[in-house]
Structure 1
Amino acid sequence: MEKLYSLVIHPPEAILILVKSMKEQLATEVGWFNSKNSVGHITICEFKATDAAIEKIKIQINRLCETLSPVEILLNEFGAFPNGAFFIAPDKDSKTNLKHIMKRFNQSLRIPNMLKSDNPHLSIARRLTPENLIKANHLFTTIDLNFVCDSVVLRQFDENIKQFFVTDTFEFKDNPQPRLIQGTLF
């Protein structure tokens, strides 16, 4: 039987606690909203896999992490998408670095029907009405967070509580890929 998984970047606990408190503040202002109870994260991809397939996917993820280097991430503004998503956005350099990481996974993982993300952001809320989006923009005006992105997290969806939970963390090992060097024979 297939289960739903997501591969994400989790900021450190202090940022996760702040995001949770922001979600609570927003809920006090606008009521319940989509992703209110979701732990803060930056999505790389979502996919379904069997127990046997997920073990092979974990090996692929681990191999990719061997070659990735930790990068400093600055989250310094709020943004919104037309679908009502309200989020914390990375600065230009951080967005470039995150996109590079996301692209590496999304191009390398060979998973059928994988939903790929290519726009890094840390969601506060999803599917807000236009009125509630205005309230969110008035409630939250400035932000300045930073962290070192040095791992990715694999999460599995729990059908009972309708939330993802962490199953594995894969740390970046900063080992350059071995390169084949073409030699000259004399």
Structure 2
Amino acid sequence: MEKKYSIVIHPSPEIIASIKTMKEDLSSKIGWFNSKNSVAHITICEFKIDESQIEKFKQKLLKVCDNFTPFSVSLDHFGSYGSGAFFIGPNEDSKQNLKPIMKKTQDALQLSNLKKSSDPHISIGRKLTPENIEIANDLFTAIHMYFLCDTIILRELDPVKRQFFVIDSFAFGSNPEPEFVQGSLF
């Protein structure tokens, strides 16, 4: 049976709890919104495969994560997209560290139906009206949070609850592959 999966980075449990409180604060002002009940995360990608193939993809994730080295992520601003998403963004250094992790993970899966994320962020709410984005901007003005990015999380969609749940995690192994350098014969 085909199932939907996502690969994400979770911040620390403390940040997850803080963001849950932020979502509740926003909900008290505007009511229910998309992503209200979603656990805080940075999306790397989503895909659908037959559940019989998941072990093969876990092996790919295990291999790619072995090459990554943990690093600190600084979340330092709020922002929004034209799509109605209101989010927390990483600073520029963190963004430059997250992007290769995201790209290498996406590339390792070798899937044609991959829904990729290329701009790392943690969504507070999605599909918000411009008025609700303005309320969120007024409610949340400053943020300074840090976490250690050292694991990638594999989640499966519960079609009834319409929420993803964690099915596995893959720790960074700090074993970077040596960079291939083109040599010269002469």
TM-score range, shorter chain: over 0.9
State the secondary structure of the residue aligned to 1:131: helix
Structure 1: distance between partners of 2:46 and 2:179: 31
Instruction: Show the 5 A alignment for 1:45-60.
Output: 45-60=45-60
Runs of 4+ in 1 over 4 A off after TM superposition: 178-183
**Structure 2: stretches of 5+ with no match in the other structure:** none
Q: Give the structure-1-normalised TM-score.
A: 0.95
1:99-154 Cα shifts (integer Å, max 9, x gaps): 11101112221123010100000000001000000000000000000011000000
Work out whether 1:109 is the aligned partner of 2:109.
yes
What residue number does 2:24 align with?
24
State the secondary structure of the residue aligned to 1:14: helix
State the secondary structure of the residue aligned to 1:155: strand
Structure 2: distance between partners of 1:182 and 1:27: 55
Structure 1: distance between partners of 2:93 and 2:166: 28
State the secondary structure of the residue aligned to 1:64: helix
Instruction: Show the 5 A alignment for 1:60-139.
Output: 60-139=60-139
What residue number does 1:147 align with?
147
**Structure 1: stretches of 5+ with no match in the other structure:** none
What residue number does 1:11 align with?
11
1:44-93 Cα shifts (integer Å, max 9, x gaps): 00001112211101000000011000011000000000011000000000
Structure 2: distance between partners of 1:37 and 1:74: 23
Structure 2: distance between partners of 1:35 and 1:180: 41
1:29-52 Cα shifts (integer Å, max 9, x gaps): 001100110000000000011122
Structure 2: distance between partners of 1:86 and 1:15: 17
Structure 2: distance between partners of 1:143 and 1:153: 24
Amino acid at match of 2:9: I
Deviation (angstroms), 1:176: 2.3
Amino acid at match of 1:147: F
State the secondary structure of the residue aligned to 2:75: strand
Aligned residues with identical type, % of pairs: 51
Deviation (angstroms), 1:23: 0.3
Structure 2: distance between partners of 1:176 and 1:61: 14
What residue number does 2:35 align with?
35
Structure 2: distance between partners of 1:96 and 1:51: 33
Q: 1:19 to 1:182 in 2, by over 3 A?
A: closer
Q: CA RMSD in A?
A: 1.5
Amino acid at match of 1:107: D
Q: Give the structure-2-normalised TM-score.
A: 0.95
Structure 2: distance between partners of 1:146 and 1:182: 38
Amino acid at match of 1:153: I
Amino acid at match of 2:72: E
